[in-house]
C-alpha cells in the first residue's frame, strides 16, 4: 500500500457511510493530518483527526460556507451521490433534476468553491467519484448525471492545470455498499476501490479504473457504435433501477 498522504488535509463528501466512510478511515491510516468528514448530518468519529462538517450539496450556500471553514484542504474527494429506487431517464422531470442537483451541480459547485483553496496549497488534488455507468446506456438519471460529471471532470482537469491541481477520475461498476444492495450482481469491495484511488493520488495518476468490468469496458469504447451499443444492450438485459 502506498501511504503518501502524510500530512495532507482531506475533505470527503458523503462521508457517513458506504464508500465515503472508507475514504475517511483509509486517509487517516495513510497518514493524513486531518480529514473533514462532510455529510448532511454530523457523526461522532472518535478520532481527533476526523472533523465532521455538515454539507448539503443541493444547498447553493453550503459549498462556499464549507470552503471558508476548511481552508487548509489540499485533497478534495467528491464522493456524495444519490441513486434513488425507481430512477428512470424517462421518469418525472423533477426526480431527474433532484439527481442532477446532487450528482452534478452540487459536485461542480463544490469543486468551484474549493478551486482557490487548492490553489493556495500548491494546486492540491481533486478526486471525483464517477461510475462506469457514464459509458453505458443505463436508462437512469444516475447514469446520465455521472456521464455529465465525467465530462466536467475532464474539463476541470484542463481548466485547473495552470494552478497545478491534480484532477483524478475514479470509475468503477458495482461496489458492495448499501447503495447497490438491491442489485444481485458481482461487486468490488469498497476497501479495494479506495485503496486504488489513494494510490493514484500518491503516484500522480489522473484516472482510476477500479474493477475488471470497468477496465474491460474502457477497452471497448473505440468499437463502432453499431457494434458497441447492441453488445451493451445485451449486457444490460433485465436491468431495473
Domains, the chain, with CATH or none: 9-235 (3.40.50.720)
Alpha helices in 72-138 (DSSP H): 93-100, 107-120
Cα gap 197→223, rounded to integer Å: 27
- Report, as ranges of residue numbers, the positions in the chain whose pLDDT lies below 70: 1-3, 176-186, 236-241
pTM over 0.85: yes
Task: Identify the pLDDT of residue 228.
Answer: 84
Quote the pLDDT of residue 133: 92
Q: Is 237 exposed, middle or buried (0-12, 13-18, 19+ CB in 10 A)?
A: exposed
Q: Tell me phi and psi for residue 75, to 5 degrees.
A: -145, 110
Please tell me the predicted confidence (pLDDT) of residue 230. 83
What does each C-alpha distance from 168 to 38, 138, 160, 225 come to in angstroms? 19, 23, 12, 27
Give the pLDDT confidence score for residue 17 in this predicted structure: 83
Find all residues with CB under 8 Å of 22, minimum gap 6, and list them.
190, 191, 193, 194
Q: Grid coordinates representing 49?
A: 483527526
Amino acid at each position: 500500500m502506498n501511504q503518501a498522504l502524510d500530512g495532507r488535509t482531506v475533505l470527503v463528501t458523503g462521508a457517513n457511510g458506504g464508500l465515503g466512510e472508507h475514504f475517511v478511515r483509509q486517509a487517516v491510516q495513510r497518514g493524513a493530518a486531518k480529514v473533514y468528514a462532510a455529510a448532511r448530518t454530523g457523526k461522532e468519529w472518535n478520532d481527533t483527526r476526523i472533523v465532521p462538517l455538515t454539507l448539503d450539496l443541493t444547498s447553493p450556500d453550503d459549498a462556499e460556507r464549507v470552503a471558508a471553514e476548511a481552508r487548509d484542504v489540499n485533497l478534495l474527494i467528491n464522493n456524495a451521490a444519490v441513486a434513488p429506487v425507481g430512477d428512470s431517464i424517462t421518469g418525472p422531470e423533477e426526480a431527474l433534476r433532484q439527481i442532477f442537483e446532487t450528482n452534478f451541480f452540487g459536485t461542480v459547485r463544490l469543486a468551484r468553491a474549493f478551486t482557490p483553496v487548492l490553489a493556495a496549497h500548491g494546486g492540491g488534488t481533486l478526486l471525483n467519484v464517477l461510475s462506469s455507468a457514464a459509458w453505458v446506456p443505463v436508462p437512469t438519471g444516475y447514469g446520465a448525471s455521472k456521464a455529465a460529471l465525467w465530462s466536467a471532470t475532464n474539463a476541470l482537469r484542463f481548466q485547473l492545470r495552470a494552478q497545478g491541481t491534480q484532477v483524478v477520475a475514479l470509475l468503477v461498476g458495482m461496489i458492495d455498499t448499501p447503495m447497490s444492495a438491491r442489485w444481485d450482481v458481482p461487486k468490488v469491495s469498497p476497501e479495494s476501490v479506495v485503496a486504488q484511488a489513494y494510490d493514484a493520488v500518491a503516484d500522480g495518476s489522473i484516472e482510476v479504473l477500479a474493477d475488471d468490468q470497468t477496465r474491460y469496458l474502457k477497452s471497448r469504447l473505440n468499437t463502432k457504435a453499431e457494434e458497441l451499443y447492441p453488445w451493451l444492450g445485451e449486457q444490460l438485459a433485465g436491468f431495473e433501477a
